[in-house]
Amino acid sequence: MILWILVNRKTSFWKLPFIASIIISFRIGNKLLFTFNISQILMRKILLIVLLTTIVGCSPNNKPSDLPPLYPCTIAIKQDDLPLTEAAVELLPIPPTVAKYRAASITGTDGKASMTTYGFSGVPAGKYKVVISKNIQDDLVYGDNPSTGQKEIVSFQKYATVESKYSSTETTPYEIEITGKKKKAEHIFDVGKSVKIKIRIS
């Protein structure tokens, strides 16, 4: 089971600039089970836990003994002929029977994602499906918090801004092969025009 923790940046509150919520997604194999949002009340604690887990998980002493050699890999995503920021990128092995070696990352302001496996930089050699997605929050409704007297988000609508065909292993048109060379490889993918597809919130 794969646990995704993504930070969506849309607005600001509670002295956490630009952070609106944390979205958690659960997958088993290639199937997305569900996603849901953590309330801003727990946000600071969760961010701290994620940070500590990342630090501990990247320790050489915690590296899985069966993890194959990793090779540098950067994925660059474009949308509307511009770099696509804050998009989730997954590399899912072909065939899916070796899915434990999947890699993941999130694009930065330059639209590039440095792929990691189990929190370690790089990707095992092999062929992969490239799965790309990005969700945003809109239609925000604010209300007063009686305990603090501050405005906070009480409801919102989540939208996908990348066509759904790119976010599924069954329909994505993109594949890559990591050849096992130490030279850093960069792969560029275009997801076409921006869309805004309403997502049902769990």
What pTM did the predictor assign? 0.66
Structural domain spans, the chain: 2-199
**CB-side neighbour CA atoms (13 Å) of 59:** 7
Q: What tens digit of pLDDT does each residue of 47-73 get?
A: 434 433 443 444 555 777 888 899 999
pLDDT of residue 61: 58
Beta sheet of 197-199, edge-to-edge order: 135-144, 151-160, 197-199
